[in-house]
A = this chain, B = another copy of it.
């Protein structure tokens, strides 16, 4: 069973969003999840042109990947989030402020690195989340 500690070092400023600076993890089993996009189980693109709908689907997909290994949100040790449009940053912040307290009821939000890139694998995708978890 992974021993996961998520914390903010005292020397660092307040995280700029719903994430924490550091995960310290003692584990012998890890989950590497490919970047999740807003596709559904029938291979349809969900939420074309709708950032919030895409975010919802992306995290739903990450959760499905976690569950497939008997894991849940508390197993996540690192997120890396890619957005295509910087205009979506406030929407991403709003999404996490609204949803993360339900997903992470202890307030231990995993470290995240937020990056604006040119494009994802298909033009309509607006957000992608890459996840590492410990079991």
Residues of A bordering B, CB below 8 Å:
7, 9-17, 19-37, 39-44, 61, 64-65, 67-69, 77-78, 80, 82, 86, 89, 110-122, 128, 130, 132, 135
CA of A30 to CA of B42, assembled, Å: 35
| 27 A-B contacts (beta carbon < 8 Å) | A7-B68, A10-B68, A12-B36, A12-B41, A12-B65, A13-B43, A14-B43, A16-B39, A20-B34, A21-B33, A21-B34, A21-B65, A22-B31, A22-B32, A22-B68, A24-B29, A25-B29, A25-B31, A28-B28, A32-B77, A32-B110, A34-B111, A35-B113, A114-B121, A116-B118, A116-B120, A118-B118
Cβ-defined contact, A114 with B9, below 8 A: no
Cβ-defined contact, B118 with A11, below 8 A: no
CA of A26 to CA of B2, assembled, Å: 12
CA of A80 to CA of B60, assembled, Å: 21
CA of A31 to CA of B14, assembled, Å: 19
Q: A80-B130, A82-B115, A116-B120 are in contact. Are A31 and B24 (CB under 8 A)?
A: yes
Set B10, B19, B78, B120: member contacting A115, Cβ < 8 A: B120
Q: A11-B41, A27-B28, A68-B11 are in contact. Are A113 and B22 (CB under 8 A)?
A: no
